[in-house]
Structure 1
Amino acid sequence: MSMNNKFTSRRLIMKNIVLSTLVATSLFVGGVYADASSTKTVKEINTIAVEKGQKQAVDSQKKLIDEAITSLKFTQKALVNLDAGETEKAKANIEKALGKLEVILSAKEAPRLLPVESAVAVHEYLGTKADVEAALKEVNTLLKQHRVQAARVLLNTLQSEIDITVVSLPLESYPRALKLAAQYLHDNQSAKARSILGIALSTFDTAIEVVPLPLLKATDLIAVASELSKQGEKQKALDYVQSAEDELKVAEILGYVSHSDNSYEMLYDAVKSVKKEIKGKNKAEKLFDALKEKLSDFKKNIFSDTK
């Protein structure tokens, strides 16, 4: 279903429906990374984190409302009827379109939006913090040269995220539009009815939930490091913690910011404490747990600072 979306919002938020899957099944315990003897490389762990995140994003997609989709089809038919001068058929299809929403509209707590289309897209940035900094420097140079389009192309590569896009039918305005179109037809004002139906079929709410990939990667790398630390593989654990810190730095410079009380600086401090504990004689398990908790809270409160 292809739609012209009138209202679009980019919400950089870890919604509960997404977060409950992505975090609850994170590899903090057991699973693929529990056995240090089968330790994977950083690249392999990152690949698994992306694939796992994509699968879980697909699994967590909102259920599409069949009644809303069918209602849209009847509305589209009504518009075709009017273009063909078939007023009575148009009236009948508008009635059918409204009829498909009767049960939803009569519900005590009817939803504000009815999902009619959903998609998941993955945009992975494979560079380092230094690569991002170099790219941003180039963007600034291009803008100073007024090469805006070239700058935009480069800037568009600076994202590393899973986008979950949901297109929804606004339940408040759509039924009203159908009723108004029906009234116009009753008053023999087909042109106005056609106009109203056209607006109804081009007014949707599009929400994009964004899951930052560097944070997913950091989460899984910390999980691996925790398991390795428990088994006495200190150097390997340190290597994975360092890779997790690198991912956090990429997330920060790419602009994934959070409402969390835990800032990037606090995450870096927690990473520093974990590193120090791993190098010492004491077990770092409690500090790993504290770092995981801070990272989890940070991800829950991710938001966009641009839109």
Structure 2
Amino acid sequence: MNKNQYQKKMAIYVLLASGATFLASNSFAKTETPKTHPATTIDRVSAATKHKLLKEKIPSIEGEAAEIEAETQKAIVALGGNDTKGATTILQGVSTKLDNLLAKNPGLNLVPAKVETDVYDFNGTNKQVAYAIDAAEDMLKHGKLQNARKILVGMASEIRVTTTNIPLGSYPAAIKQIIPLIDSGKIDQAVVDLSSVLGTLVVTTEVMPLPVLRAEELLTVAADLEHRDDLSKEANRNEIQKFTDAAKDKLELAQLLGYGEKDDYKTLYKEIDAIHKTLFSEQSAAVWQKVMDDLGQFKDRLKDLEDAAERIGHPAK
């Protein structure tokens, strides 16, 4: 076995051993005060971002919406136990809640009923990813699909926000049509129709790559360092270099994991390198702002990456 083969093999072992770290859904993590050290900054991003996302998303869920899916399922269970009276009472309550939502949200098609936030945090290095991709491609060429799958399955580093939405254009009318079926004794048909109604719930997933979020945080800290007055300009310059290098490293990881297009990364790398030419000058603020604006726009384009997540071997929910 030559040195290159050995390195690839060891990288695969590391990847399979480390996999992806999964944090349970809907738990708030305490965040720390940022410190001027790249590793500390990186560690806190996933928890802080998840906390922020939940704070943004959960207030948009109205009480009635959060109960509708569960109560529709309860009605199916009641019908399965021949409790037609109980099922009718439940569905009448669901219908009232839907009417309230329609009155509060005229013209709105989708109302969020449930939000789940999951974090898949990849532990490998950029070099390990490159070796693993190379090895997986080699296995695929030789028809070893399952071997390649074992390598690629953990290669995702992202926050996934999954929202279950109630379609107000169809759900209320469908529920109202089921109650008469129960009254007329058509229980089997009512169960089938209720199951179909649940199937109309619209599930959307936003994918936000952690390496990109971490790069953004690192650049934010780097920009603030330029204005510190407790260090010399040379010391500040060195500190800023550490953070911008760390940010580029995280962007390279995101690129290797297949998030976004190559041209987007080329532009960002070039803009980050340009920062150092204007430090402590009148042009500096504009250069920093340009980098952060472009990175923000890139993040927006990455939000709908469900198909990209599947391409890099991430299991769809």
Given candidates 247, 250, 261, the residue that maps to 1:244 is 247
The question of 1:44 aligning with 2:40 is answered yes
Give the letter for the 1:254 counterpart. L
Give the match for residue 56 of structure 2. Answer: 60
Distance change in 2, residues 1:271/1:84 (3 Å): closer
Q: Deviations over 1:201-243 (max 9, x none)?
A: 3443222222221122111222222233344121221122111
Contact 1:217 1:244 in 2 (8 A): yes
Give the letter for the 2:287 counterpart. L
How many Å apart are 1:270 and its aligned residue? Answer: 0.8
Q: Deviations over 1:117-168 (max 9, x none)?
A: 2221111223333222112112223323433334233222221111112122
Contact 1:230 1:283 in 2 (8 A): no
Give the match for residue 8 of structure 2. Answer: none
Give the letter for the 1:289 counterpart. Q
- SS in structure 2 of the partner of residue 94 of structure 1: helix
Q: Deviations over 1:167-191 (max 9, x none)?
A: 2233233223322322323443222
Whole-angstrom distance in 2 between the partners of 1:100 and 1:73:
13
**Number of matched residues?**
269
Distance change in 2, residues 1:109/1:153 (3 Å): farther
Given candidates 102, 106, 109, the residue that maps to 1:109 is 106
How many Å apart are 1:82 and its aligned residue? Answer: 2.4
Give the letter for the 1:242 counterpart. D
Given candidates 217, 222, 226, the residue that maps to 2:219 is 222
Give the letter for the 2:103 counterpart. S
The structure richer in helix per residue is 2
Runs of 5+ unmatched residues, structure 2: 1-31, 311-317
How many Å apart are 1:107 and its aligned residue? Answer: 4.2
Give the letter for the 2:49 counterpart. G
Distance change in 2, residues 1:50/1:78 (3 Å): closer
Contact 1:123 1:161 in 2 (8 A): yes
1:4-15 map, 5 Å:
none
Give the match for residue 260 of structure 2. Answer: 257
Whole-angstrom distance in 2 between the partners of 1:301 and 1:210:
10
Distance change in 2, residues 1:170/1:146 (3 Å): farther
Give the match for residue 272 of structure 1. Answer: 273
Give the letter for the 2:38 counterpart. V
Distance change in 2, residues 1:299/1:73 (3 Å): closer
Whole-angstrom distance in 2 between the partners of 1:191 and 1:246:
58
| Structure with greater contact order relative to length (CA < 8 Å, sep ≥ 6) | 1
Give the letter for the 1:264 counterpart. Y
Give the match for residue 290 of structure 2. Answer: 290
Whole-angstrom distance in 2 between the partners of 1:42 and 1:275:
18
CA RMSD of aligned residues (A): 2.9
Distance change in 2, residues 1:108/1:210 (3 Å): closer
Whole-angstrom distance in 2 between the partners of 1:146 and 1:264:
32
Give the match for residue 87 of structure 1. Answer: 84
Contact 1:132 1:253 in 2 (8 A): yes
Q: Deviations over 1:61-107 (max 9, x none)?
A: 23333213433444334323322334344333322221221121234
Flag as ranges the 4+ runs of structure 1 deviating above 6 A.
280-283
Runs of 5+ unmatched residues, structure 1: 1-30, 34-38
Whole-angstrom distance in 2 between the partners of 1:174 and 1:100:
11
Give the match for residue 300 of structure 1. Answer: 300
1:141-290 map, 5 Å:
141-231=138-228, 232=233, 233-257=236-260, 263-278=264-279, 284-290=284-290
Whole-angstrom distance in 2 between the partners of 1:205 and 1:115:
9
Question: TM-score of the superposition, structure 1-length normalised?
Answer: 0.76
1:112-123 map, 5 Å:
112-123=109-120
Distance change in 2, residues 1:68/1:142 (3 Å): same
Distance change in 2, residues 1:81/1:263 (3 Å): closer
